[in-house]
Structure 1
Amino acid sequence: MNKAHFEFWPSRLPKTLAVPETTLYDNLAISAKKYPEKTALVYYGARYTYSQVLKEVEALAGYLQNVLGVKKGENVLLFMQNAPQFLIGYYAILRAEAVIVPVNPMNTAEEMAFYVEDSAIRAGIIGQELYGRVNELKGRTSLTQIITAAYSDYAGNGDGLGELPEAVREPVQVVDKVIEWKEAIGAGCKPFEYRGDAEDTAILPYTSGTTGQPKGCIHTNRTVQANTVGAFHWMNITADAAALLTLPLFHVTGMVHSMNTPIYAGGTMVMMTRWDRDYAASAIERYGCTHWINISTMLIDFLANPKLAQYDISSLQAIGGGGAPLPEAVGEKLTAITGLEYIEGYGLSETISHTHFNPPDRPKLQCLGIPSFDVDARVIEPSTGKELGPGQDGELIVNGPQVFKGYHNRPDENRNSFIEFDGKVFFRTGDIVRTDEEGYFFIVDRVKRMINAAGFKVWPTEVESMLYKHPAIQQACVVGIPDPRRGETVKAFVILNEEAKGDVTEEEIIEWAKGQMAAYKYPRFIEFRETFPTTSSGKILWRKLQDEERGKSGEVL
């Protein structure tokens, strides 16, 4: 294990961290005991204290157990946009000693059928606007019990910072044979005695499915606590912190950093159901937000707001994220505006968010950071398993307390996803990285995303990083497209800044790129777009753009 990075470890922190034997539910119960009247959650002007949140968690858990018959270890669907009911439902499922299956609210009915069947789900807590996507599953899958939630129940009258999202304005809709949220909360059911354990399976998040069929990742209270407590210390989150909650909570980054960690600290969460850059800036100013974990596409949009200078965002103390590398030019713009350096991290559903984090006092741009508490991270040659040194591109493998217990119902995947190395079992991430001499890790790209242009390896992320240096480019996504002579060649989809639209041409960007990178790397084709397809967590769906191009050429996808 390379220990060079320890020279840059935050001086106030130990290099190893004991994971508590307590559970995620215990975190909420303890914070509610310490800070009963403190605001836990702000939702479009409405405020909820820790004691209020815990009371509703207990009531819902009692209903799950007494009325719906939810058993210990049973998988329960949580299919909802960001809302107080997501948080309450999440902790209620844990209180019932069941397993949370959080699913992307953008999924269609057919996609939902897969999750329900794969996890043998019988009961679900669902945003009412999504009910139509699961209603038809009741007759042909294991799903029989549904609780629906209207976000408007918790939004109050808003806070005057902007128009409420449509889903938040929607009044309660009563549906026959469906349990309405208030009915469940108001039933007066008491939950059974809590016997939760650190080794109990707590969450079954699914991979995004961008590289194949989604897979459920088995996480215990202990694996999730490792990153919850790690983030608490690394990001210096206290009970007086206020976290701006913009990432979707079904996704592991938002779940751990914007919900579980503030709850562990006894801090406040300022929640948004849908991303809105003006509302985000207003909320930072109104509620004094101190911490904001996001994704690069969100920050790019935030900083591109021509009205940003009108807002006082000086309360921010720490800002960072992951999911996709932050372009260097964007990081420099952030520092120029706020004085803050972006703290980038790296992780996966399989590691319930981060395995790497940049040191807050010495971050590097376009960098995954250094291994987190008790993480052993190596770079190997994918085909031979030989360990590689600084500056050499190879597959990242990780061993640490946050690594999942395996994929649900995927024995073959489990056999292929782990490797024994130096007497330890490591998870193979499938990501190509390199380290520098100081032990910092840098993403090169996904193994499956590499472009082979006339025998040269082209990593799209590297090309995208260069394109972001062009002053006219707001966002870029690079893919490989078929080429009769080179096999593959490089194409870039580009979203221009508003002031550049109509003034900058595709040919001008290609000519500029020629002077910025090697001849085999620069994009031969540029296509301007107004938007990119993204996941609800903000990741650009590069594969969808690539498949569109290959479909045009008649190539079999």
Structure 2
Amino acid sequence: MLETIRGLLEGKPGDAPAVLAPERETLDYASLRDLCDRTVERLNALGIGRGDRVAIVLPNGPEMATAFVAMASAATTAPLNPAYREEEFAFYISDLGARALVVAEGMETPALAVARRHGARVLRLRVPAGAPAGWFELEPEEGGGAPRAARPGPAEAEDVALVLHTSGTTSRPKIVPLLHRNIVASTRHIGEALALSPADRVLNVMPLFHIHGLVAAVASSLAAGGSIFATPGFDAIRFFRWLDESRASWYTAVPTMHQAVLARAARNPEIVERRRLRLIRSSSASLPPQVMRELEATFGCPVIESYGMTEAAHQMTSNPLPPRPRKPGSVGVPAGPLVRIADPSGRFLPAGEEGEVAISGPNVTPGYESHPKANAEAFFEAEGRRWFRTGDQGRFDADGYLTITGRIKEIINRGGEKVSPLEVDNVLMEHPAVRQVVTFALPHPKLGEEVAAAVVLADGAEVNEHELRRFAAERLADFKVPRKFVFVTEIPKGATGKLQRLGLAQRLGLVE
């Protein structure tokens, strides 16, 4: 059982805090273990067992966190974004082959009609009055018995614990299955990188239908015997109130969230001083070095930038804790799996040379489900190991630190000259008038693609296109300088808060 999510809870003091939430009583480890075991029995009695897929559509919060842990102890979890529309739910629930759908009691969602059409059993998650944070009961929408689960009992290490879809920005979304042992390995990697202990408490603001929040915040904290303060989701205004109430020692987020926190920090100096964090973690997108510097200056703690993705059960590399150096603009050193830079033929490249990041380790998915072509393209054999191509371009420096220069599909090809949009982003972020920026490809009739940038200005700042172009030209080769700047009040973000680069020209109305 130790190589399972349920196994992560073993050996923790029963009265130690596990899950907390705003204005709720605390759920301890003994109660969380009991909840998991009750959920296994309940799902089995409803005909749902190991390998059966349970779609979870719940708002962010303590019950979403514990539903993932408890239901993965019995079946395969498939958390879905509650904001999806009916046609999106129809695709995901059908593609998953979900046996059941879990929704909150009283919750209305288009997922209900979809589940009923597909014959998936609807289970209502009910929170009893006065229950501690995360405690729930499951009630089927329709009564009546069901045959016992075909594969009952607690999940095992080789069972699939979690299935998530790729973003599908350039192709049909693919199912990424993650085994219990993949997730357990990743929690160990994260715990070692951050030196997590029972004394730590994470303030979770990440959505729990995404690998970042599920593994980096929830599962890794439980693996270390720490605790989770589960919020309803990111809210820059309420963030500091939660920080004060939670007494958290760390939080993990995407760069856009960190920027929003910084924008409010000056209004909450007493809380920042009173609730000193041990560390701040950033992942899922590149953190501008300027934002890292401002976070460290504001909160007086190290900012640890990491590199993760769904196929790796999240973490692949991480900047180390002090006293080892952190390198702004770098995602750090390998932190769990083996990490190499490969050329298109699968040959590994030395430090300083740019190529595709490849990984191999116990946290890596066995492969995309029902996608032999995608697996043939993504996996290769070398040095007696199976390697996964991440789709990211990067290079190692002489000290073994990895710098990501962009998603290969996002690299701008300007008349044969390759431009890393991340490099341009980082330069423009150094301008004092710029709060956010995304560099993107703009179709061009002769060059194929031209370099463009969408810019959000800092409050009260003024700058024009000519000034920004001159600023960039002083720091970049001419072919990398954006020829077009678009000033916007907000840059489109994905469901997890990541800025959207692909297709931005279309979304901004720059092309038909």
Answer whether TM exceeds 0.5 for this pair: yes
- The 1:248–1:391 alpha-carbon spacing in structure 2 relative to 1, beyond 3 Å, is same
- Check the 8 A contact 1:342/1:365 in 2, yes or no: no
1:296 equivalent to 2:251? Answer no
1:109 equivalent to 2:86? Answer yes
Counterpart residue number, 2:287: 326
- The 1:129–1:340 alpha-carbon spacing in structure 2 relative to 1, beyond 3 Å, is farther
1:366 equivalent to 2:345? Answer no
Counterpart residue number, 1:60: 39
Secondary structure of 1:542's aligned partner:
coil
- Check the 8 A contact 1:198/1:222 in 2, yes or no: yes
Aligned-partner Cα distance in 2 for 1:538–1:133: 23
1:41 equivalent to 2:22? Answer no
Count of residue pairs brought into register by the alignment: 498
Counterpart residue number, 1:491: 452
- The 1:108–1:128 alpha-carbon spacing in structure 2 relative to 1, beyond 3 Å, is farther
Aligned-partner Cα distance in 2 for 1:104–1:310: 35
Aligned-partner Cα distance in 2 for 1:150–1:536: 26
Q: Which runs of 4+ in 1 moved over 6 A?
A: 150-156
Q: For residues 25-68 of structure 1, give each alpha carbon's deviation from its aligned partner in whole angstroms, at most 9, with x where no partner exists.
A: 1223443xx1x2332222112122223333333333332221x2
- Check the 8 A contact 1:351/1:402 in 2, yes or no: yes
- Check the 8 A contact 2:40/2:153 in 1, yes or no: no
TM-score w.r.t. length of structure 2:
0.91
- After the TM superposition, which residues 366-385 of structure 1 pair with which residues of structure 2 at under 5 Å, given as runs? 366-373=329-336, 375-382=337-344, 384-385=345-346
In structure 2, give the amino acid aligned to 1:117. S
Secondary structure of 2:499's aligned partner:
coil
Which of 296, 303, 309 is residue 269 of structure 2 equivalent to?
309
- Check the 8 A contact 1:371/1:377 in 2, yes or no: yes
In structure 1, give the amino acid aligned to 2:355. G
Residue 296 of structure 1: how far off its partner (Å): 1.0
- Check the 8 A contact 1:148/1:178 in 2, yes or no: no
Aligned-partner Cα distance in 1 for 2:162–2:203: 23
Aligned-partner Cα distance in 1 for 2:191–2:319: 14
Aligned-partner Cα distance in 1 for 2:216–2:431: 32
Fraction of identical pairs, as percent: 28
- Check the 8 A contact 1:42/1:48 in 2, yes or no: yes
In structure 1, give the amino acid aligned to 2:37. E
Counterpart residue number, 2:479: 520
- The 1:151–1:477 alpha-carbon spacing in structure 2 relative to 1, beyond 3 Å, is farther
Q: For residues 145-197 of structure 1, give each alpha carbon's deviation from its aligned partner in whole angstroms, at most 9, with x where no partner exists.
A: 232557998799xxxxxxxxxxxxxxxxxx9x8379xxxxxxxx9xx984432
Residue 521 of structure 1: how far off its partner (Å): 0.8
Gaps of 5+ in 1: 1-19, 157-174, 181-188
- After the TM superposition, which residues 66-77 of structure 1 pair with which residues of structure 2 at under 5 Å, given as runs? 66=45, 68-77=46-55
In structure 2, give the amino acid aligned to 1:232. G
- The 1:272–1:152 alpha-carbon spacing in structure 2 relative to 1, beyond 3 Å, is farther
In structure 2, give the amino acid aligned to 1:23. T
Aligned-partner Cα distance in 2 for 1:245–1:466: 30
- The 1:519–1:179 alpha-carbon spacing in structure 2 relative to 1, beyond 3 Å, is farther
Secondary structure of 1:304's aligned partner:
helix
Aligned-partner Cα distance in 2 for 1:452–1:377: 26
- The 1:150–1:105 alpha-carbon spacing in structure 2 relative to 1, beyond 3 Å, is farther
- The 1:399–1:511 alpha-carbon spacing in structure 2 relative to 1, beyond 3 Å, is same
- Check the 8 A contact 2:338/2:360 in 1, yes or no: yes
Which of 359, 368, 376 is residue 398 of structure 1 equivalent to?
359
- After the TM superposition, which residues 8-157 of structure 1 pair with which residues of structure 2 at under 5 Å, given as runs? 21-31=2-12, 34=13, 36-50=14-28, 51-66=30-45, 68-96=46-74, 98-127=75-104, 131-148=108-125
CA RMSD of aligned residues (A): 2.6
Aligned-partner Cα distance in 2 for 1:552–1:262: 44
TM-score w.r.t. length of structure 1:
0.84
Aligned-partner Cα distance in 1 for 2:123–2:154: 25
- The 1:179–1:46 alpha-carbon spacing in structure 2 relative to 1, beyond 3 Å, is farther
Residue 498 of structure 1: how far off its partner (Å): 1.1
Counterpart residue number, 2:505: 546
- The 1:179–1:277 alpha-carbon spacing in structure 2 relative to 1, beyond 3 Å, is farther
In structure 1, give the amino acid aligned to 2:368. Y
Aligned-partner Cα distance in 1 for 2:355–2:241: 43
1:275 equivalent to 2:267? Answer no
- Check the 8 A contact 1:126/1:149 in 2, yes or no: no
Counterpart residue number, 1:242: 201
Counterpart residue number, 1:340: 301
- The 1:139–1:24 alpha-carbon spacing in structure 2 relative to 1, beyond 3 Å, is closer
Aligned-partner Cα distance in 2 for 1:41–1:82: 13
Residue 552 of structure 1: how far off its partner (Å): 4.3
